[in-house]
Structure 1
Amino acid sequence: MLIPARRMALTAFSALAATTLFTAPAGATVFNQGISVHRDAYVAKDGAVTLSGMYHCEQASPMGAMQIKATVEQEGGGRLSIGAEQIVCDGQERRWVADAPGAFVNVHPGSAVVTAELQEVRLSGLMPRSVTTVAQDSQHVEVHGH
């Protein structure tokens, strides 16, 4: 008698697990995502800008990829958005860095606001179908010359 009860319990548990697995949306995003901005940024003599911070994320949905977009806004300097280097989504806390060459950049030493966005890009073939911000941080930073 003990064996059929165990089988019935295992069958019920398996059915519950299958129902949970198959009722999730096909492209569901994992919600263990986070990003932060360091309070210091840098601008080189040639105008190249470096922004940085920390992030953690889980693997993107099978139909997408993860990326970081960083935007710096400065009075008298306008607004500049740049992407960070390739990121790794394995749940670990990691550093991100975004660099922009100085050719068309108008950032100078002083106060600025930097906003970092961790984004999931959903693909349709080779083309992006949608971009969703899954984590964001905005900080007043000091831009230092170097």
Structure 2
Amino acid sequence: MPGRRMALAALSALAAAAAFTAPATATSFDSAISVQPYAQIGEDGTITLSGTYRCTDASPVGGIQIAASVIQDHTRLTTGAGGAVCDGAEHEWESRASLRYTPDIHPGPARAEVRLQEVKLSGLMPKSLHTLAEDQQDIQITG
């Protein structure tokens, strides 16, 4: 019987963890973010990712920012898409980054990750970073 109880307890814990796992397009505190299923490499040697976001009530000390990453063939390029307007409406975001130091990123399949983050400041320095929403998905890079 003890083995059966342990198996039942493990199954219950696994089910609880699965029930409380955030979906790919995570939403918290009335915030959401998404990334388009494609990215574009421009003739100028930059890559552009884009999507939409929504948030409310920006932090009074600090701000809200968007961070985007593209991962391909063990190479990761992370860039910022700037500050976010948190008025409860859906907004578009776009992030452009140079491939100068990451020339291994090329047209083809890749993975994109994007985060809507709250930055809290202590004086002029960042004190903490809190993810309000995130999205991760497979994308296609075109050239």
The TM-score, its normalising length taken from structure 2, stands at 0.76
- Displacement of 1:103 after TM fit? 1.9
TM-fit CA distance, 1:33: 0.6
Which of 46, 62, 65 lines up with 1:48 in the alignment?
46
Q: 1:79 aligns with which of 68, 76, 80?
A: 76
| Structure number, greater radius of gyration | 1
Q: Runs of at least 4 residues of structure 1 off by over 4 A?
A: none
Conserved in 2, the CA contact under 8 Å of 1:55 and 1:94? yes
For residue 116 of structure 2, what is the aligned residue in structure 1?
118
CA contact (8 A) 2:113 2:135 kept: yes
- Work out which of the residue numbers 97, 102, 106 in structure 1 matches 2:94: 97
Instruction: Give yes or no for contact 1:38–1:52 (8 Å, CA) kept in 2.
Output: yes
For the aligned residue pairs, the C-alpha RMSD in angstroms reads 1.4
Partner AA of 1:35 in structure 2:
I
Aligned length: 115
Distance 1:58 1:105 in 2: 35
Structure 2: gaps (5+ residues): 1-27
Letter in 2 for 1:84: A
Deviations 1:79-127 (A, max 9, x none): 0000003321111101110010232133210000000000000001111
8 Å CA contact 1:73, 1:80 repeated in 2: yes
Residue segments in structure 1 that go unaligned for 5+ positions in a row: 1-29
Tell me which residue corresponds to 1:70: 68
Identity of aligned residues (%): 46
Higher strand share: 2
- Aligned-residue offset at 1:46: 4.0
CA distance in 2, matches of 1:36, 1:122: 23
Secondary structure in structure 2 of the residue aligned to 1:84: strand
Q: What is aligned with 2:11? A: none
Which whole-Å CA distance do the structure 2 matches of 1:71 and 1:89 have between them?
A: 22
Task: Provide the residue aligned with 1:33 in structure 2.
Answer: 31
TM-score (norm 1): 0.74
